[in-house]
Amino acid sequence: MTTWFSAADCRLADFRTLVEQPTDAAAYPLATGVEHNVLSYDRTILTADRRAAAAELARALMDGPGIVVFRGAFAAEVVDRATAVFAAMIEEQKAAGVAGGDHFAKPGANDRVWGALDKFALRDPAAFAAYYDNDLLALVCEAWLGTGYQVTSQVNVVNPGGQAQVAHRDYHLGFMSREQAERYPAHIHALSPVLTLQGAVAHVDMPVETGPTLYLPHSQKYPAGYVAFHRPEFTAYFEENYVQLPLAKGDAAFFNPALFHGAGTNRSADVRRMANLLQVSSAFGRAMETVDRTAMCRALYPVLRAYPGSVANVVAACAEGYAFPTNLDHDQPIGGLAPQTQAELMHRALAEQWDTSQLEKALHDQRERRAAAG
């Protein structure tokens, strides 16, 4: 059994064996068809036995192509109400001179609304209720994550000329550098994908020239994929073999976060490609107790400035070592895939020999940036 993955473990020939297999339509009797190796469904799946439908979707996401597309998942009038709310948010950001940072694009190149879920609910509760009262969404979320799942949403608008993303996997390990991912044992690489479901709801018609998401079906099954997607030969293979499905307004795609994918280039002249990106998390990704780690950092900092033992071990025990969840309006991933963690802030302060007041201000400012409100 492999305990750690490294770049040396990533063999393109092994990867190709997985991704070049066809999707067997007969194994998914509730699907309406297979398009470019991707399973398509419509609302008729809701008439099937719920357990059977959930089981089929879970198999499709885990052992099948890793992606399913629901045609007509959201009614057009419901989408249009939400689009109006999102568009107003974007115009307000622009009027305020805000150019949102992005995980994969230069700030300001496209339009993005971070933390759109609660902003939507507070601005137009009736439109929010109509939008998220969606049985297909509930079915696929429960199929992959079980009950108690937690929805988050980011609105992404790729403007004409917006460039394609480099192929990647998604949250959690997908938002790390190769070196960071290699520090996690192989069983965590297997665990990470089942903690999150990725989704995208089309808010406009998305013909291929507008750059709907590029996918590589079956790529979620490659064990070392969180390391491999950083390697140039895997990127080149993706660029030569991806599939791209046009979407109509109201269609929705849901996929295993370990699937190799990336937004496409918007080659249209006038279509602002808007999608509501849904990231749905397992209820289990939480600690048992609440801990005031900021207070711990303040108390321990004077000790650690002259500590003779392993400072890293103590910081790991006291400081928040993970960047999420955060308020991405204010705590943005500029210059990397994730904002600075509290632990990284502590290490910087110690390395640069900050005085206590400088650290306390930095901790306060970081906590304010991460706060949900505002």
- pLDDT digit string (tens) for 117-132? 989 999 989 899 999 9
261: Cβ contacts below 8 Å, ≥ 6 apart: 167, 168, 169, 170, 213, 214, 215, 216, 255
Dihedral Cα 137, 222, 7, 226, nearest 10 deg: 10
- What is the rounded distance in angstroms from the CA atom of residue 199 to the CA atom of residue 244? 15
Mean pLDDT of 210-224: 97
Confidence (pLDDT) at 288: 76
- Ordered by where they begin, the domains of the chain are 9-281 (2.60.120.620), 293-370 (no CATH)
359: Cβ contacts below 8 Å, ≥ 6 apart: 297, 298, 301, 346, 349
Q: Which of 183, 177, 201 is nearest to 76 (CA)?
A: 201
Q: E strand or H helix at 15, and its extent?
A: helix 12-19
Kindly state the tokens that stand for 13.
């020939």
- Convert the pLDDT of each residue in 147-157 to its tens digit: 989 899 999 99
Sheet holding 111-113, edge to edge: 33-35, 38-41, 67-70, 252-255, 196-202, 273-281, 150-158, 111-113
Task: Name which of 110-114, 206-210, 238-242, 335-339 the model is least confident about.
Answer: 335-339
- What is the rounded distance in angstroms from the CA atom of residue 151 to the CA atom of residue 160? 29
Mean pLDDT of 68-73: 98
Q: Residues 154, 280: contact at Cβ < 8 Å?
A: no
Kindly state the tokens that stand for 228.
């491999």
- What is the rounded distance in angstroms from the CA atom of residue 254 to the CA atom of residue 67? 6
Confidence (pLDDT) at 329: 86
**Cα(first)–Cα(last) distance of the chain, in Å?**
47
Higher pLDDT residue, 250 or 93?
A: 250
- Convert the pLDDT of each residue in 164-196 to its tens digit: 899 999 999 999 999 999 999 999 999 999 999
Per DSSP, the three-state class of 39 is: strand
Sheet holding 261-262, edge to edge: 243-244, 214-215, 261-262
Dihedral Cα 294, 300, 305, 307, nearest 10 deg: -140
Q: State pTM to two decimals.
A: 0.87
Confidence of residue 103 (pLDDT cuts 50, 70, 90): very low
User: Is pLDDT above 60 for 88?
Assistant: yes
Mean pLDDT of 105-124: 82
Task: Name which of 52-61, 92-101, 309-318 the model is least confident about.
Answer: 92-101
Task: Name the average pLDDT for the chain.
Answer: 93
Residues in a beta bridge with 202: 275
Confidence (pLDDT) at 287: 78
Confidence of residue 328 (pLDDT cuts 50, 70, 90): confident
Confidence (pLDDT) at 332: 83
Confidence of residue 338 (pLDDT cuts 50, 70, 90): confident
Task: Name which of 52-61, 138-147, 235-244, 324-333 the model is least confident about.
Answer: 324-333
Q: Which of 198, 150, 158, 154 is nearest to 174 (CA)?
A: 198
- Other beta carbons within 10 angstroms of residue 80's beta carbon come to 15
Higher pLDDT residue, 9 or 219?
A: 219
- What is the rounded distance in angstroms from the CA atom of residue 155 to the CA atom of residue 132? 15
Say which amino acid occupies 66.
G
Say which amino acid occupies 17.
T
The CA–CA distances, whole Å, from 330 to 69, 117, 292, 294, 363 equal 33, 16, 21, 18, 14
Confidence (pLDDT) at 101: 54
7: Cβ contacts below 8 Å, ≥ 6 apart: 178, 182, 227, 230, 231
Confidence (pLDDT) at 78: 96
Per DSSP, the three-state class of 176 is: coil
CA atoms within 13 A on the CB side of 191: 9
